[in-house]
Structure 1
Amino acid sequence: MSLLIVEPFYGGSHKQLVDLLQEELEDCVLYTLPAKKWHWRARTSALYFSQNIPISEQYRILFASSVLNLTELAALRPDLGKLKKILYFHENQLIYPVKKYQERDFQYGYNQILSCLVADVVVFNSVFNMESFLTSIGKFMKLIPDHRPRDLESIIRPKCQVIYFPIRFPDVSREHDKDPESFFKVLMHLKDLRLNFHVSVLGETFTDVPDVFSESKKALGSSVIHWGYLPSKDDYFQVLCMADVVISTAKHEFFGVAMLEAVYCGCYPLCPKDLVYPEIFPAEYLYSTPEQLSKRLQIFCKRPDIVRKHLYKGEMTPFSWAALHGKFRSLLTTEPREDL
């Protein structure tokens, strides 16, 4: 139990990462909370974990996602505060989309900044995630009306690094923030043009589901093959292997696990020329406007052989667990400290 993993939002990519670490790394223990009510997890999970993680002299490293208020946990549990503390950013709250900048809850981003100051190592899943966070600190802190702290970016940056999210690719032969409105609008346009296509809409459903999902499912009718969450990872990969094209219309994305999994299964990716995507995918697979996306899809509907014969021109290996496990092992192992 030298490695203590704490995950307040145990679902999606957060769950995928810590499950992988627990399976692949020796001598670790995992404490989690269900992936519900994200805002409350960010606000209160530190107090819960402070009461429910047993005291142990075996812990040497604390690894947590940035949903956790690491500052509060370290203060409430000084024994955990002494550990080597590693904070992993799947996403950051300084640029997370909100309808109006004034609506952004200052506390979530502020908590992440404080957690970085307390952490010994801060790890981001992409360069885009790291730079968008660090370069936004100054502007974000200007929201404070007076007596603002200074030089936070220069204090935090030296302890930051990027380790891509590790994907255990399968053995195969081949949320509102994802902007479903744009996605379904493009599909309905294809249908209006009487182009032949089939679509699978896969993903986990949380509390709030936009009306556009149910409306689009009805409107797309027989074009829909699969709709909704597939609990079996094998079934999920099977659907990906049947597909020809995978589309992202995300308004925000800090890595894109699902897109890379689909590409590994043989799909041709179409992603916004924005966010993390230019860091991950070659320019050929990026679009700038919904109109560009629609035109590409119209061509593919008329000539599906283009994508079925296509060989992906990007790199997949750098994102695999096989390539990244050495970095994670190095990060999550440490020599015993004399003061422990």
Structure 2
Amino acid sequence: MPENNTPVIFPKRILLLSPYDAVSHRYWHKGLVKAFPAIEWTVLTLSPRYFSWRIRGNSLTLGLGYQDTLLQPYDLVIATSMTDLSSLRGLVPALTQIPTILYCHENQFVYPAQENAVDSVGAQVVTLYSALAADCVVFNTLYNQETFISGAKKLLGQFPDGVPKNVISEITRKSRVIPVPLQADLFFKIKPTVSEQKLQIVWNHRWEYDKAPERFFSAIAQLATKTRNICVHVVGQQFRKKPPYFAEFYQKYADIVGQWGFVDSREDYHQLLANSDVVVSTALHDFQGISIQEAVALGCIPVVPDRLAYPYLFSKAFCYQSNIDDVEGEVDTLANRLYQLVVAKQENKLPQAPEMQEWYWSSLKEAYASLFTQVCTSLTKYEL
């Protein structure tokens, strides 16, 4: 903490860098700007594509392509962990004079292998150097922080020589956990409008392999052999290339499908969640699970694997036993859990969804305000 005689400083101008501006990153920084309207924000983003180039080349793109913006007078810089911060500070030395927070939505140490097949070590080194270059490192969940630290430790242990002993302790010293807050004001007005006898199940994730859609579809196929008293909504962000399981499932099980595909309107999407009973994850990779959290905040019962960030978010009652290597066993477990909920709805005994107020902006705004003040007041050396 700053000394008693140190003036307390709250930033008036903040530069926010999001060089791989994925959906969850936009969700976060739009929430920040809305939560602190008195701050003069400059938000600099790059599109979320060409991952390998973007994570290694963003310092070049930003440092030389947006130098006029970067050289403006700021009180604080907030950069996502996709930012090659050490290189950017080298290209624009003026940035080294501004207190800087690195915000980690994810880390490169626990992605499924296929995701980073091109250059996983390169991406890991970038984020490691960025964490060392920042004055404060913030993780969205304890799971993210723990896997970053353990992954970085493992990576450093593979290098032949020249690794200082205090790398991990330095990052740990200046790190903390503050989640991405839920923009609850967007769905407070949403109320359930449909009362269906069928169990309304929603799967609301990116249509990509790391969300393991094939596990979900296999579980629903198994469930459908026991009951058709279900309605399955499959929504979420889509890309030009998507796993074939989606088209195959829709063709075979169209009679139990409700909403299918991306929902353009946020209000319509939130209404769908409010009208659903259950939200399911089969993910192989999730650091906070905002899509699950939003659904739960709108009343959905979470049915999530006991891996990744989920055991940090929900009690055991909402986590089914997972096994990355035993797909068939995991599918059986998920299908059985969903069947139990079908029966529970028929008997009017569905459990209540967990409370989510602690994840709202109303609960987390003060943590962000305190973070900004502490980093700006203490500059680069402070006790967390």
Report the TM range for the smaller structure's normalisation.
over 0.9
SS in 2 for 1:10: coil
Q: How far 1:248 sits from its partner (Å)?
A: 0.5
Structure 2 CA distance, aligned partners of 1:309 and 1:180? 25
Contact 2:341 2:350 in 1 (8 A): no
Q: 1:57 to 1:100 in 2, by over 3 A?
A: closer
Gaps of 5+ in 1: none
Amino acid in the other structure paired with 1:320: Y
CA offsets, 1:186-238, max 9 Å, x none? Answer: 01112233432111111111343111122112122121111221122111101
1:27 corresponds in structure 2 to: 40
Letter aligned with residue 135 of structure 2: D
- Equivalent residue for 1:324? 364
Equivalent of 1:152 in 167, 172, 175: 167
Task: Report the Cα distance in structure 2 between the residues aligned to 1:193 and 1:88, rounded to whole angstroms.
Answer: 45
Query: In 2, distance between residues paired with 1:192 and 1:232?
Result: 34
**Partner Cα separation in structure 1 for residue 345 and residue 291 of structure 2:** 22
* Letter in structure 1 aligned against 2:275: M
Partner of 1:204: 237
Q: 1:101-250 residue pairs with structure 2 within 5 A?
A: 105-169=120-184, 170-171=187-188, 172-173=190-191, 175-250=208-283
Q: Which amino acid aligns with 1:6?
A: L
1:48 to partner: Cα distance: 1.2
8 A contact 2:223–2:336 mirrored in 1: no
Q: In structure 2, which of residues 5, 9, 16 is the aligned counterpart of residue 5 of structure 1? A: 16
For the structure 1 residues 145 and 190, does the alpha-carbon distance in structure 2 shift closer, same or farther, using more than 3 Å as the test? same
Map of 2:345 onto structure 1: 304
**SS of aligned partner of 2:228:** coil
For residues 125 and 336 of structure 1, do their structure 2 counterparts lie closer, same or farther at Cα, with a shift above 3 Å needed? closer
**How far apart, CA to CA, are the structure 2 residues paired with 1:137 and 1:278?**
22
* Alpha-carbon distance change, 159 to 253 in structure 1, aligned in 2, over 3 angstroms: same
The AA in structure 2 aligned to 1:192 is T
Q: CA deviation at 1:241?
A: 1.1
Counterpart Cα distance in 2 of 1:64 and 1:132: 20
Question: How far 1:305 moved relative to its partner?
Answer: 4.2
Count of aligned pairs between the two proteins? 336
1:291 maps onto 2:304 in alignment? no
Q: Aligned pair in 2 of structure 1 residues 55, 40: CA closer, same or farther (>3 Å)?
A: closer
Could you say which residue in structure 2 is the equivalent of 1:45? 58
Question: Relative to 1, partners in 2 of residues 1:150 and 1:279: Cα closer, same or farther, differing over 3 Å?
Answer: same
Q: Deviations over 1:242-289 (max 9, x none)?
A: 111100011121111111110111111101111111111011101003
How many Å separate the matches in 1 of 2:46 and 2:70?
19
Contact kept, 8 Å, 2:108 with 2:120, in 1: the verdict is: no
Give distance in 1, aligned partners of 2:226 and 2:127.
47
Q: 1:148 to 1:101 in 2, by over 3 A?
A: farther
Alignment of 1:51-70 (within 5 A): 51-53=65-67, 54-70=69-85
In structure 2, what is the equivalent of residue 88 of structure 1? Answer: 103
SS at structure 1 position matched to 2:304: strand
Paired with 2:134 and 2:249, the residues of 1 have a C-alpha distance of 44
Assess, with a 3 A threshold, how the Cα gap between structure 1 residues 7 and 102 changes in structure 2: closer, same or farther: closer
1:72 corresponds to which residue? 87
How far apart are 1:97 and its partner, in Å? 1.5
- Residues of 2 paired with 1:229 and 1:129: CA distance? 27
Between 1 and 2, higher relative CO (CA 8 Å, sep ≥ 6) is seen in 2
Instruction: Kindly provide the CA deviation profile for residues 115-163 of structure 1, in whole angstroms up to 9, marking residues without a partner as x.
Output: 0110000000001110111122121123334444433211210000000
Unaligned runs of 5+ in 2: 1-11, 193-207, 322-329, 380-384
Identity within the alignment, %: 31
Distance 1:294 1:147 in 2: 51
